[in-house]
Each structure stands twice: as C-alpha cells, then as structure tokens.
Homo-oligomer: A and B are copies of this chain.
Amino acid sequence: MKIYLAGPDVFLPDAVAIGRRKVDICARRGLIGLYPLDNIIDLAADSASLQIFRGNETMMNEADAIIANLTPFRGPGADAGTVYELGYMAGRGKPCFGYSNDPTLYVDRVRERSQVTSQDGHLVDGDGLTVENFGHTDNLMMIHGLELHGAPLVVPHRAPDDLWHDLTSFEACVRLAAAL
C-alpha cells in the first residue's frame, strides 16, 4: 500500500533526510511512503512550481492513503498546502490520517497572537473575526475530515522537544494505515 506523506517537512533545512526517515518507518510496516521531494523537479525552470504541483498530484493519485503533518506552521494552524492535499485525498475517497505535534487548542494559539474577547456569547479575535472554540486543536474541517475519512488526528499529550523532528505521532499514523 502506498502512502502520500504530506507536510511542511519539505520546508525544513533537512527536508530530504526527514523524508527518508518517514519512508523508512513506512517500510518497516510494509508500506511504501511517497514523499513529494522524491519527484524530480528542475528548480531553475520557469515552470518549477507547476512541476511540483503536477508531481504532488500524480503522487496523490497513485497513493492509497495520506498521512498529513498538521503541526502548526507559520500561523495558528496547519500548513495550507498540506491541508489542500488532505482535502484532495478525502475528496478522492482515500483513507486520511494526520498528526500534529502541538497538542494546544487552536483558540489558545490565536490568543498568543491576538487579543481574543467574548462577544455575544462567542469569541472574536482582534479583527473582530469569530474564533472557533469547539475544543479542537485546529479548524473543524480537518478535525472531522480525518475522523470521518480515516482516523482522528493523532496528537501527543505533551509537545515533544523537537516539534519538527519527533516522529512518534507520525509512527502512530503509520500503524493506523498499516492496519487498513
């Protein structure tokens, strides 16, 4: 079974190495991990970004399931590119798994960045925009998307020391996928 390995891991300084570790963990459970950086892209070409998209989409179409790293990235929630891919795989009817190495609530992460106040019985941020407050770690579309299309988001009880390199929760997702 082939698993598409989605996540902002591709933006890490050691993106290739972490992909290799993920593929190895998959292999130990008899799964084939497909990692975006394994696509061969001519980064000097004008069409580099389109080539990346096409490579990722082809990999997703080939994959039987997805494991998405939804650890908050450059804001209070998950990386948008990863979330697009999670939605895409859910739309294709393929099993979806995901993890986040940050177990804090979404609303608390918004609070770190903006003044959150209560207004007419719901929470709003400094711009007056409603803040989801259902006790989830991220937007409900991903939380329930995972729940209904695969398995609930895997989160550790406590954030690991290294948010970007600890693969304990990733490994839990691999076990879930291997049990399919």
Contacts and interface: CB of A to CB of B under 8 A. Distances in A.
Contacts of A125: 74
A17 interface: no
A11 to B, nearest CB: 4
A72 B78 CA distance: 14
A56 B11 contact: no
Given A13-B130, A53-B141, 14 more contacts: A10-B130, A13-B124, A53-B140, A53-B144, A74-B75, A74-B113, A74-B125, A80-B138, A80-B141, A83-B83, A84-B84, A84-B142, A88-B88, A90-B91
26 contacts: A11-B129, A12-B128, A13-B124, A49-B134, A49-B136, A49-B143, A49-B144, A74-B76, A74-B113, A78-B80, A80-B83, A80-B138, A80-B139, A80-B142, A81-B141, A83-B83, A83-B84, A84-B86, A84-B142, A85-B87, A86-B87, A88-B90, A88-B91, A88-B145, A90-B91, A91-B92
